[in-house]
Amino acid sequence: YNNVIKPIIEARCATSGSCHGAGSGSRDWTNTTNLRNNAASVRSRTVAKTMPPAGTTALTQDQIDQIACWVDDGAS
C-alpha cells in the first residue's frame, strides 16, 4: 500500500480541491480507513474508468491494475 497505492491516490485522487481530498467526509481518501472501507467501489470505478472523472488525467492501465490487485488482495 505505502509504496504503490498510496502514491497513486495522493497524486491522482486525494489532491487539494479534488473529490477525495482532505475534509471531504467519508470520501476523504487521505484517510486510509475511508479508502479501505470503500475499496470495492474504488476498484469498480477505476476498472470502469469512471474514476478519476472525465476532464481529469486518466489513470494508466498499470495504475488501474495495481489498484485492482490491492483490492483483490484484501486492501491491506
> Is residue 67 within 8 Å of 5, Cβ to Cβ?
yes
* pTM for this prediction: 0.85
∠ CA 12-54-58, nearest 5°, is 40
pLDDT in tens, 55-76: 788 899 999 999 999 999 999 8
pLDDT in tens, 3-62: 999 999 888 887 766 777 677 776 888 888 988 999 999 999 999 998 887 778 889 999
Q: Where are the alpha helices (DSSP H) in the chain?
A: 5-12, 32-37, 39-47, 61-72
Residue type, 15: T
DSSP state of 1: -
